[in-house]
Amino acid sequence: MKKIKVLIFIYQMGGGGAARTLLNIINNLDRSKFSPVLVTLNYNGSYEKELQDDVVFIKLPTKRLSRSIWSLAKIIRSEEIDIVFSTIPRVNTIAIFAKVLSFSKARSVIREADNLGGGLITNLQLLGFGMVYKFSNQIVSLSEGVKENLVRRYKVKPSDIKVVYNPVDLYRIKEKIKTEKDIKDKYKTLFETEDKIIVSAGRLVEQKDHKTLLKAFSKVNAQVKSRLILLGEGPLKNQLVEEAEKLNVADRVHFIGFQNNPYVFFKKADVFVLSSKHEGFSHVIAEALATGVPVVSTDCKSGPAEVLNKGEYGELCEVGNVEDMTEKILHILTLDKEQVTEIVSNGYERANYFDAKVIVKRYEEIFLQALNQ
């Protein structure tokens, strides 16, 4: 039987959640039915080395998304692609245009990954994306909240959207946890302490609202001696360092940048905290649960409440509310061992719900349905 060729298009295989999700989908596709082709712009991404050896990987000769349409269209035609799959609005738009201009029989499946919205200009842009999305064969939303946003802001019909949660590669996480050597010597000393360890991971950008986390941490530390480890890079690092200094906790806050293996850090922590203003799904929360660490997250639109099932599998706090976040973190840090063990056990159970082996089968069904339209 001829394998179905799926072209996956993304800006770059960098360290963000979208790239990690696509990595999990690519590596877990059933190779007896599907043949993956990954196409990115001309950037080097940290997840490239984790791709399966049989993935056809093509980098376009440009770093400009707007200049990639014709090159992508040629690949769709020359590689005889059956499904063009993409994520993130601007990338989705280019993928749809390229599919149309390829004059091929390829089908387009796009994935919406965040709960976007804002001022007049931003909302008009989303309406524009929604108009282009109508030329795709299937729209996938990674949460019910993102689906509601697609209907409200993009004016997409609910019947045109399928909700599929992010796949979490539980096997890969377990294997990576075993490799503690990935914690470099300079970081190992962070865990050689009686202090409680709080970990957070995400780009140092406004969306992740690390300022609220730092303020909450300063209050937590005043009651329970703690260390805050921040994984991730971004333009706000200097501002956040200054904020930590103002709060007199600079010696207890550790910015360690992007880590190829964040799971060993999660595993050693007493609590994982997400302070975001908005998310699509919050892949990192599901991954944290899979490592066996209790979770505190903002109840932002639209992923955390779905991942944690309205607080059943982790603590939810109000977005931007320092006092609420402080209270929820302290609650976790002051639990006894039996209570922590129960939370960890429940977290493992919830993580299994997002197992890549299960979720990717849903994507496979969607690809097959798109082909039969």
What is the separation of C-alpha 332 from the centre of its chain, rounded to a whole number of angstroms?
24
Same domain, 156 and 185: no
Nearest Cα residue to 11 out of 91, 80, 99, 85:
91
Helices 210-223 & 237-246 angle (0-180, nearest 10)? 30
**pLDDT of the residue at 167:** 93
Q: Which residues contact 63 (CB under 8 A, 6 or more apart)?
A: 41, 42, 43
- The per-residue DSSP string of 321-336 comes to -HHHHHHHHHHHHT--
Same domain, 182 and 56: no
Same domain, 346 and 360: no
Same domain, 213 and 276: yes
- Specify the number of domains making up the chain: 2
Residue 120's CATH number: 3.40.50.2000
**pLDDT of the residue at 14:** 83
**pLDDT of the residue at 185:** 76
Same domain, 40 and 130: yes
Same domain, 142 and 177: no
3-state secondary structure of 143: coil
Same domain, 342 and 365: no
Same domain, 186 and 80: no
Same domain, 236 and 319: yes
How big is the chain, counted in residues?
A: 373
Same domain, 298 and 157: no
**pLDDT of the residue at 183:** 76
Q: What is the pLDDT along the chain (373 residues), one digit of tens a residue?
A: 789 999 999 999 986 778 889 999 999 999 999 999 999 999 999 899 999 999 999 999 999 999 999 999 999 999 999 999 999 999 999 999 999 999 999 999 999 988 888 889 999 999 999 999 999 999 999 999 999 999 999 999 999 999 999 999 999 899 999 876 667 778 889 999 999 999 999 999 999 999 999 999 999 999 999 999 999 999 999 999 999 999 999 999 999 998 888 999 999 999 999 999 999 888 899 999 999 999 999 999 888 999 999 999 999 999 999 999 999 999 999 999 999 999 999 999 999 999 999 999 999 999 999 999 8
| Domain range for 108 | 4-167+355-371
Same domain, 138 and 242: no
pLDDT in tens, 162-218: 999 999 999 989 999 987 666 777 888 999 999 999 999 999 999 999 999 999 999
**pLDDT of the residue at 282:** 86
Same domain, 249 and 114: no
What's the predicted TM-score (pTM) here?
A: 0.84
Q: Is 190 exposed, middle or buried (0-12, 13-18, 19+ CB in 10 A)?
A: middle
pLDDT in tens, 107-156: 999 999 888 888 899 999 999 999 999 999 999 999 999 999 999 999 99
**pLDDT of the residue at 297:** 98
**pLDDT of the residue at 181:** 63
